[in-house]
Structure 1
Amino acid sequence: MNIIELLKYNQKELGNKIKEIVSNYRDFYSIISIDGGGILVTPKGSKNYPLVCSHLDTINDQRKAKETPKIVIQGDYISLASDSPCSCLGGDDRCGVFIALELIKARLPYAFGFFYDEEIGGVGSSYMLQYLTDNITAFIGLDRRGADQAAIYGYDNSELMSLFERRGYFKAKGSFTDASNLARIYSKGVACINLSVGYYNEHTPKETINITAMNRTLTILKDMVDELTSKPFLIENFMIYNELYQSKLYYYYGGDDDLYNYYGDDGLYNYDDDDDDDSEALEQWYIEGYNKAMEQGYEIAKAEFYNDNLKEAEAWYISYRAGFKDALDDMQNLKYPKKALA
């Protein structure tokens, strides 16, 4: 099932479709489906496995929208049409569902949780706790905006984080998702992490999906089987979460699990010149540039990119431009930019 098809289902329809798809892989997976909870898929004969978490509802479901989104596709960039009646595109979290289904099709020895009603407080994942086994090594969320964030919630393991940092993810601070909900209440003390899956501006009509970013996380998870199934990653302490650097680039919006870009009144980013030499601040500017290009998609970002004379530019702008350019390179060179549309 491609990402466009996934965007056109409501929560109930998608749940039925996922059960139909996964039933084709009963030779490899066991399946539990619980009304009001979700669909739990576990690999047969595997001693240890991470639980990969995604959710089936969108803001359209919660607002009882009956219309299907009118979708615009431009290269690797998906958005709502200007006259679409929907509240959002639905990339949150159909991008995560797409990745999970592709991993199932590849018969990877991961477990998968497709949960109902995450958007109203993790109702489905809380209900499905009773069906979890003792084999889980980590909770891996597929429910984060952007292209390269690995969000933490206070249920962390430094080794687990380092596995993703080595693959280009940057640490971010989240507030809630199904993976963190389960890490909070699961008795075995297993850590969680939540990965970017390529959507932006979620919960709004301006939501977009970058297919390159979505497939990047898919490709990385395909490459991490041995590491993620090797042993449990146990919660260490709350220090990583509490001490996480918070850049002035971001602010929390409505308590949701996503960080939104902050712009000054003049259209430029707010910035404190005293932080010029702060390597963490420069790293955040690099991340901002990277995600800005990913949010726009290759064609739009390429059209806006031009060769500045950076000789006199401030350090923050050079870092921002470097991230922007790297995202353009990734979108141009990634081998799987159109896979999700096939």
Structure 2
Amino acid sequence: MNIIELLTINQSELGTKIKEIINDYRDFYSIIFIDNGGIIVTPKKCEKYPLICSHLDTINDQRKPKETPKISDINIQGDYLSLTNNSPCSCLGGGDDRCGVYIALELIKARLPYAFGFFYDEEIGGVGSKYMLQYLTDNITAFIGLDRRGADQAAIYGYDNSELMALFERRGYFKAKGSFTDASNLAGMYSKGVACINLSVGYYNEHTPKETINTTAMNRTLTILKDMVDELTSKPFLIENFMIYNEFYQSKLYYYGDDDDLYYYGNGDLYNYGDDDSEALEEWYIEGYNKAMEQGYEISKDELYEENLKGIYSSEAWYISYLAGFKDAIDDMENLKYPKKALA
């Protein structure tokens, strides 16, 4: 399928199309289909491979009324795509995540020894990827998301590996901080401690009617991934700086210090941040956002009123930042259609 075709079908239709396409590649791949979770594709006779992650829903699927772009809604100007001014759609759909799906399908057509995850309902808290965790193998070397704006960003989420980042930096990518995606969702839950990274796939102004796609940038990432097979399948890229706030999730994070410094104990190490460290506070904001998105709307809304989200840390700068991110994610999900019942 070309990118225009991908933009003009909804999540359910896209899931059906992907099943039809990859059935033609069963000689090379093993395939798992899970209703409401997604599709997992793994290469046969391969000991190690990265999981290339993309998702099938767009905010057009989640908002009411649902409006999927028609061909007549799409402006094509060379390698730039955009919505027409009179289109009723909430977005074009490249940034959530048809550019990523296009790249993944092209890699499958090339029979590259990568694994692929096509997930449902990323836009409402990573529901599909969370549900599909149980179907992942132990062979994964890294989680590589295809769900980042721009042409040259490699986003990180706290589940990082410097060697993995360096592979992409050498190819012209720049490190950026991400908020949430299926790749980070899985990295946080996968028991093998494998790192994640999320790559630009050529979209801009995502989640708005002003969204555009640069197909040249999209194809750049496709070409780079085709050239990285040996490096990405050579060994696992393990998390080096596992999130210092991980213990907070089990209410095991402790506060020490005076008015000038904040100290956090987690995963066996002691950390220090000054109150005015804006970068550290930004990381706490991102982590709050990530956590709420990972859990989904219903769980996060309930948790907002529990003691660990209004307790002894309520006046601390790090906690205020964490809570701001947490609340913003709830607001984002509330503005979309959220699931009434979370998947186990």
**Residue 27 (structure 1) aligned with residue 30 (structure 2):** no
How has the CA–CA distance of structure 1 residues 166 and 30 changed in structure 2, closer, same or farther, with 3 Å as cutoff? same
Identity %: 85
Matching residue of 1:278: none
Matching residue of 1:198: 202
Residue 17 (structure 1) shift:
0.3
How has the CA–CA distance of structure 1 residues 10 and 239 changed in structure 2, closer, same or farther, with 3 Å as cutoff? closer
The 5-angstrom pairing of residues 1-150 of structure 1 reads: 1-69=1-69, 70-92=73-95, 93-150=97-154
Q: SS in structure 2 opposite 1:52? A: strand
Amino acid corresponding to residue 19 of structure 2 in structure 1: K
Amino acid corresponding to residue 57 of structure 1 in structure 2: D
Question: For residues 279 and 101 of structure 2, what CA distance do their matches in structure 1 show?
Answer: 30
Under a length normalisation based on structure 1, what TM-score does the superposition of the two structures give? 0.70
Question: For residues 98 and 16 of structure 2, what CA distance do their matches in structure 1 show?
Answer: 15
Q: SS in structure 2 opposite 1:4? A: helix
Contact 1:156/1:240, CA 8 A, preserved across alignment: no
Q: SS in structure 1 opposite 2:16? A: helix
Matching residue of 1:218: 222
Question: For residues 43 and 168 of structure 1, what CA distance do their matches in structure 2 show?
Answer: 28
Residue 172 (structure 1) shift:
0.3
Matching residue of 2:231: 227
Question: For residues 140 and 162 of structure 2, what CA distance do their matches in structure 1 show?
Answer: 17
Contact 2:61/2:67, CA 8 A, preserved across alignment: no
Question: For residues 139 and 200 of structure 1, what CA distance do their matches in structure 2 show?
Answer: 23
Residue 238 (structure 1) shift:
4.4
Question: For residues 244 and 195 of structure 1, what CA distance do their matches in structure 2 show?
Answer: 25
Structure 1 moving runs of 4+ over 6 Å: 239-246
How has the CA–CA distance of structure 1 residues 240 and 138 changed in structure 2, closer, same or farther, with 3 Å as cutoff? farther
Residue 67 (structure 1) shift:
3.2
Contact 1:7/1:91, CA 8 A, preserved across alignment: yes
Residue 175 (structure 1) shift:
1.2
- Structure 2 gap ranges (5+): 246-272, 291-344
The partner residue of 2:164 within 160, 168, 176 is: 160
Residue 239 (structure 1) shift:
7.9
Contact 1:173/1:244, CA 8 A, preserved across alignment: no
Contact 1:65/1:86, CA 8 A, preserved across alignment: no
Aligned residue pair count: 253
Question: For residues 64 and 154 of structure 2, what CA distance do their matches in structure 1 show?
Answer: 31
Q: SS in structure 2 opposite 1:189? A: coil
Question: For residues 180 and 47 of structure 1, what CA distance do their matches in structure 2 show?
Answer: 23
How has the CA–CA distance of structure 1 residues 244 and 233 changed in structure 2, closer, same or farther, with 3 Å as cutoff? farther
Matching residue of 1:169: 173
RMSD: 2.4
Question: For residues 97 and 6 of structure 1, what CA distance do their matches in structure 2 show?
Answer: 8
Question: For residues 240 and 225 of structure 1, what CA distance do their matches in structure 2 show?
Answer: 32
Q: SS in structure 2 opposite 1:54? A: strand
How has the CA–CA distance of structure 1 residues 195 and 245 changed in structure 2, closer, same or farther, with 3 Å as cutoff? farther
How has the CA–CA distance of structure 1 residues 222 and 85 changed in structure 2, closer, same or farther, with 3 Å as cutoff? same
- Structure 1 gap ranges (5+): 257-342
Question: For residues 146 and 278 of structure 2, what CA distance do their matches in structure 1 show?
Answer: 21
Matching residue of 2:315: none
Contact 2:151/2:217, CA 8 A, preserved across alignment: yes
1:200-228 Cα offsets, whole Å, 9 max, x none, are 10110000000010000000000000000
Residue 64 (structure 1) shift:
3.9
How has the CA–CA distance of structure 1 residues 208 and 240 changed in structure 2, closer, same or farther, with 3 Å as cutoff? farther
Residue 101 (structure 1) shift:
0.2
Residue 157 (structure 1) shift:
0.3
Question: For residues 144 and 210 of structure 1, what CA distance do their matches in structure 2 show?
Answer: 13
Matching residue of 2:326: none
Amino acid corresponding to residue 63 of structure 2 in structure 1: R
The 5-angstrom pairing of residues 164-313 of structure 1 reads: 164-238=168-242
Question: For residues 225 and 245 of structure 1, what CA distance do their matches in structure 2 show?
Answer: 34
